[in-house]
Amino acid sequence: MKSNQAIDTHKGHGTEAILFGLMPMGDHRTAPEALHELQLLAETADFVPAGCMVQHRRHADPHSYFGSGKLEELAEVVKLAHSAAVICDDSLTPNQGKAIEAAVGVPCMDRSELILQIFGMHARTPQAKLQVELAALQYEMPRLRRRWSHLERQRGGIGVRGGAGEKQIDVDRNLLKTRITAIQKDLERIEEHKMREVQGRPDLFTIALVGYTNAGKSSLMNKLTDAGVLAENRLFSTLDTRTRPWRLAGGRTVLLTDTVGFLRKLPHQLVASFHATLAEALHADLLLVLVDGSSAEAADQMRTVDEVLETLGSQNLPRITLLNKLDLVADRAALAPLWQIDPRAVPLSVLTGDGMPDLMAAIQSHLATVEQRVELLLPHSAGALHGEIRGKATVLSEFYTEAGCLMTIQASPALLGRLMAEGARLAQPEDRPASS
């Protein structure tokens, strides 16, 4: 039994692990079905799931998560499988984690720690690395006592803080607090910079891709914009927000933003630390919510996305739900429960292109409902605005007259206001040729 093998702090490195969790009373799923997402997370972190175990109960035991009998059973499974770790499908309190490790004799990792580990593996930019570090430190803070419970006071003497001496846990806690404060200040500066960037592009319609992790957001962005964003069949393959121009039919350009994926039971530390990244969704004019339509848990994933958006204050933003991976759905009737949640959801396959025209039509329809349709006269003296109008508005018609270019366009109020401030004006009856 590999009871002395420690879990690497960055990757599983092929460590065999037993997965375990709780199921509600009356839930008839098998243990592998109930822990399927945890298995995907473990594999993403390079662990090798060697088995799984669930217990049906209403609430976790406050001391040991499982009941005493089930905990003994878990220890026996670990011994028989020669596993080097156990991974829980929920977040554990420090006392629960300590009790489980004492019972099974191998390191125990909870769902939050596992997700933090995956984020740490995939963080590439300075911002993402800071966000992951902040979440990890906040996760670690209440667990310091468990880490240092074996130590006595490190130093003492007359006049030393704490009387008999300062504990090592106090030293570490102060170090963590100092580092957390420094990271928070750095992230605040980054968030202020990102907000200035967002506010500096008010004329362009913005669309944010949001949804469950591995639903196909990065693949869709690559298909629409040739962005070159990493797209893998793995959870959280990308963490950083990327914004790219997307040219619609007719030449108009909108901004398309890919955001980090959502997940059930996402650690609250990550939601908080990634607020600057997820805040891109707060400033979008439209959300494209991607769902893996082929997943048996698609309805639960849609509810998870709603919960995260509500946490961000984005629940009331206009949205179009996309039921992706249609190529993996044998019978479209299987999508009926998802259409009950959102009757206007658009089924598509980013891989094959099936349903993409329906997505384009839905976006154009939305633009038509939220933007203003006007007839403008662009005098010859303001002809330099012509290219900008084509790039930032939907041009429905245009023809040239002696007074200038007469254009029927669909555009945002902000863009219309600026165009008229720079020389364009609303067309008058006398501007139109007599034959029109």
Residue 407's domain is classified under what CATH number?
3.30.70
Q: Which of 53, 62, 133 is nearest to 87 (CA)?
A: 53
Cβ neighbours, 10 Å, residue 155: 13
Q: Whole-angstrom Cα distance, residue 278 to residue 280?
A: 5
Q: Give tens-digit pLDDT for 70-105.
A: 999 999 999 999 999 999 999 999 999 999 999 999
pLDDT at 158 over 70: no
Shortest CA distance to 355 belongs to which of 323, 318, 329? 323
CA separation (Å) from 211 to 201, 234, 278?
Answer: 24, 14, 11
HSE at residue 109, side-chain half, CA atoms within 13 A, is 30
Which residue would you say has higher pLDDT here, 119 or 338?
338
CATH number at residue 312: 3.40.50.300
Residues 333 and 385 in one domain: no
Is residue 2 predicted with pLDDT exceeding 50?
A: no
Task: Supply the CATH number for residue 26's domain.
Answer: 3.40.50.11060
Domain final position from 368, 395, 421? 368
Average pLDDT of the segment spanning 10-15: 65
How confident is the model at residue 102, as a pLDDT?
Answer: 95
pLDDT band at residue 8, thresholds of 50, 70 and 90? very low
Mean pLDDT of 255-264: 83
Which has the minimum average pLDDT: 214-228, 291-305, 404-418?
A: 214-228
Q: Do 317 and 345 belong together in one domain?
A: yes
Which DSSP symbol is given to 194?
H
Chain position carrying tokens 């504990």: 167
DSSP 397: E
Residue 19 pLDDT grade (very low, low, confident, very high; cuts 50, 70, 90)? very high
Q: Do residue 363 and residue 296 come from a single domain?
A: yes
> Which among 266, 215, 265 is positioned nearest to 237, based on CA atoms?
215
- Number of other CB atoms surrounding residue 353 within 10 Å: 11
The answer on 340 and 222 residing in a single domain is yes
Mean pLDDT of 382-410: 89
- Parent domain of 105: 16-109
Confidence at 160, pLDDT banded by 50, 70, 90: very low
Are 359 and 410 part of one and the same domain?
A: no
Do 284 and 326 belong to one domain?
yes
Establish if 193 belongs to a structural domain. Answer: no
Q: Which residues have CB under 8 Å from 202's CB, separation 6+?
A: 414
pLDDT digits (tens, 9 = 90+) for 308-328: 888 777 788 899 999 999 999
How far does CA 392 lie from the centroid of its chain? 28
Q: Which residues pair with 232 in a beta bridge?
A: none
56 has a pLDDT exceeding 80: yes
Under 8 Å between Cβ of 257 and 210: no
pLDDT for position 100:
96
| Sequence-ordered list of residues with C-beta below 8 angstroms from that of 244, at least 6 positions apart, any chain | 221, 225, 227, 255, 256, 257
* Domain presence at residue 11: no
φ and ψ at 18, to 5 degrees? Answer: -95, 130
pLDDT at 233: 53
Work out the pLDDT band at 172, boundaries 50, 70, 90: confident
Q: What is the pLDDT of residue 264?
A: 81
pLDDT for residue 118: 86
Residues 384 and 330 in one domain: no
**DSSP letters for 295-312:** STTHHHHHHHHHHHHHHH
Looking at the domain assignment, is residue 141 inside a domain? no
Q: Quick one: 301 and 263 in the same domain?
A: yes
DSSP string, 359-376: HHHHHHHHHHHHSEEEEE
The answer to the question of residue 331 being in a domain is yes
Q: Where does the pLDDT of residue 236 fall: very low under 50, low under 70, confident under 90, or very high at 90 and above?
A: low
Cβ atoms within 10 Å, residue 426: 11
What is the predicted pLDDT for the residue at 149?
Answer: 47
Task: Band the pLDDT of 42: cuts 50, 70, 90.
Answer: very high
Whether 144 is in a domain gets the answer no
- State residue 164's pLDDT score: 39
Domain boundary among 324, 352, 368: 368
Neighbours of 76 (CB within 10 A): 11
State which amino acid sits at residue 339.
Answer: W
Q: Which of 91, 109, 127 is the last residue of a domain?
A: 109
In one-letter notation, the amino acid at residue 42 is: A
Query: Looking at 248-252, 293-297, 390-394, which range is the least confident one?
Result: 248-252
Residues 206 and 311 in one domain: yes
Q: For residue 46, which phi and psi values (nearest 5 degrees)? A: 70, 30
pLDDT, tens digit, for every residue of 348-393? 999 999 999 999 999 999 999 999 999 999 998 888 898 889 888 9
Identify the DSSP state of 5. P
DSSP string of 197-231, one letter each residue: HHHT-TTS-EEEEEEBTTSSHHHHHHHHH------
What's the average model confidence in pLDDT over 279-295? 85
Backbone angles phi, psi at 62, to 5 degrees: -65, -20
Rounded mean pLDDT of 273-302? 82
Give Cα separations from 16 to 134, 296, 374 (angstroms): 28, 27, 64
In 3-state terms, the chain is what percent helix, strand and coil (to 5)? 45, 20, 35
pLDDT digits (tens, 9 = 90+) for 205-223: 989 998 888 888 888 998 8
Q: What is the pLDDT of residues 175-205, one digit of tens each?
A: 889 999 999 999 888 878 877 776 666 578 9
State the average pLDDT over residues 412-419: 88
**Residue 256: inside a domain:** yes
Q: Which pLDDT score, from 0 to 100, does residue 375 have? A: 93
Taking a C-beta distance cutoff of 8 angstroms, is the pair 292, 327 a contact?
no
How far is the C-alpha of 420 from the C-alpha of 412, rounded, in Å?
12
Question: Percent of the chain at pLDDT above 90?
Answer: 41
Give me the number of domains the chain comprises.
3
Residue range 233-238: average pLDDT?
57
* 348 and 380 fall within a common domain: no
pLDDT at 230 over 60: no
321 bridge partner residues? 289
| Spatial separation of the C-alpha atoms in residues 386 and 209, rounded to whole Å | 30
